[in-house]
């Protein structure tokens, strides 16, 4: 992972929220929030909340008496989340998952959707999640499966590899889809102090967009892939988006897009 992989700023937060969240994150947000709600927590911390896809689901499902604190390393993402709003009040707070600004044993559940892949030191981030959990509390998070099992991401990466054959952008495979080994996940959790055996479930969903253009804009302009494209051609963003759009349309047709996506959902309790 490179430093730009964790940079979500400029035009990215808005496009992430309006294009990428409906395309990829909403089905998994509903699933993850449902798992949290089933545990009837009294307090929840979300790390790497992004623009609030899971936060909104938690706010809708959990009683108003349950406190929800949503954090992210990138303030522009939280600003976008706060602007979209939630069904009832939550606390938005910038925070680094590896240095959480909360007391020990402060929460009944810690939640993270598709953020663990971006942590420079996952064992340290997991140790922080464990530290702020109360005994018996649970850490729940999701991480993408390999890129080959996520059809749109693979299609976009292949299209950009043709456009930049000598230096293909690999952000999608390197970071979002770079943490998909259940054995490695279990080791990192153990290194973070979790003694319990994690439950790792592979969950398949459908990724849907109204058009190939919507999907191409989501990936090429609403993620750090945008910066990786610009590093190769400062004026090449529209050309790259167009190449991705043509590849998606060739694969899935010229109308609405319906593709397979796959991830792991992990649950582990603090002893």
Write down the domain spans for the chain. Answer: 3-269
> Which residues, in sequence order, are CB contacts of 106 under 8 Å at separation 6+?
43, 45, 132, 134
Q: Give the pLDDT mean for 139-152.
A: 98
- Tracing tokens 């959707």 back to the chain, one arrives at 113
Q: Confirm if 142 and 32 have CB atoms less than 8 A apart.
A: yes
Q: Give the other-Cβ count within 10 Å of 152's Cβ.
A: 29
Q: What is the mean pLDDT of residues 131-158?
A: 98
The pLDDT assigned to 258 comes to 98
Q: pTM for this structure?
A: 0.96
Percent of the chain with pLDDT over 90: 96
* Nearest 10 degrees: Cα torsion 197, 35, 206, 92: -110
State the pLDDT confidence band at 3, using cuts at 50, 70 and 90: low
How much is the average pLDDT of 226-230? 94
pLDDT above 60: residue 170: yes
Q: What is the mean pLDDT of residues 182-207?
A: 98
H or E element in which residue 161 lies = helix 151-163
Average confidence (pLDDT) over 246-254: 95
Q: Average pLDDT for residues 159-185, to the nearest whole number?
A: 97
pLDDT value, residue 193 = 98
What does pLDDT average to over the chain? 96
For residue 133, name the pLDDT band (cuts at 50, 70, 90). very high
| Strands lying side by side in the sheet with 257-269 | 91-94, 67-72, 43-46, 107-113, 133-144, 257-269, 199-209
Q: In which band, very low, low, confident or very high, does the pLDDT at 254 lie, cut at 50, 70 and 90?
A: confident
Give the confidence band of 1 by pLDDT, cuts at 50, 70, 90: low
pLDDT band at 4 (very low <50, low <70, confident <90, very high): confident
- Encode pLDDT of 21-80 as tens digits: 999 999 999 999 999 999 999 999 999 999 999 999 999 999 999 999 999 999 999 999
Residue 162 reports pLDDT greater than 70:
yes
pLDDT above 70 (res 2): no
DSSP 25: I
Residue 7 in this model has a pLDDT that exceeds 70: yes
Reading the block at residue 223, the tokens are 């993620």
- Indicate whether 18 pLDDT > 70: yes
Task: Write down how long the chain is.
Answer: 271
Query: What pLDDT score does 9 carry?
Result: 84
- Between 2.60.120.10, 3.40.50.880, 3.40.50.11720, 3.40.50.150, what CATH number should domain 3-269 receive? 3.40.50.150
């Amino acid at each position: 992972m490179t430093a730009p992989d964790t940079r979500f700023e400029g035009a990215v937060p808005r496009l992430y929220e309006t294009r990428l969240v409906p395309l990829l994150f909403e089905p998994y947000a509903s699933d993850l929030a449902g798992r949290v709600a089933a545990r009837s927590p009294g307090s929840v911390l979300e790390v790497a909340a992004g623009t609030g896809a899971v936060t909104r689901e938690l706010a809708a499902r959990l009683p108003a008496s349950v406190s929800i604190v949503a954090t992210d390393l990138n303030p522009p993402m939280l600003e976008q989340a706060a602007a979209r709003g939630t069904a009832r009040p939550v606390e938005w707070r910038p925070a680094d998952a590896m240095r959480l600004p909360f007391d020990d044993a402060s929460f009944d559940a810690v939640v993270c959707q598709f953020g663990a892949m971006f942590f420079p030191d996952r064992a340290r981030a997991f140790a922080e999640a464990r530290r702020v959990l109360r005994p018996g509390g649970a850490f729940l998070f999701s991480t993408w499966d390999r890129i080959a099992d996520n059809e749109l991401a693979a299609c976009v990466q292949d299209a950009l590899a043709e456009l930049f054959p000598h230096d293909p952008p690999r952000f999608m495979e390197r970071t979002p889809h770079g943490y998909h080994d259940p054995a490695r996940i279990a080791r990192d959790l153990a290194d973070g102090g979790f003694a319990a055996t994690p439950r790792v479930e592979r969950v398949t969903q459908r990724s849907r967009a109204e058009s190939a253009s919507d999907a191409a804009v989501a990936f090429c302009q609403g993620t750090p892939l945008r910066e990786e494209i610009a590093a190769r051609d400062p004026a090449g963003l529209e050309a790259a988006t167009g190449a991705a759009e043509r590849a998606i349309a060739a694969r899935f047709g010229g109308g609405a897009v319906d593709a397979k996506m796959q991830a792991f959902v992990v649950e582990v309790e603090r002893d």
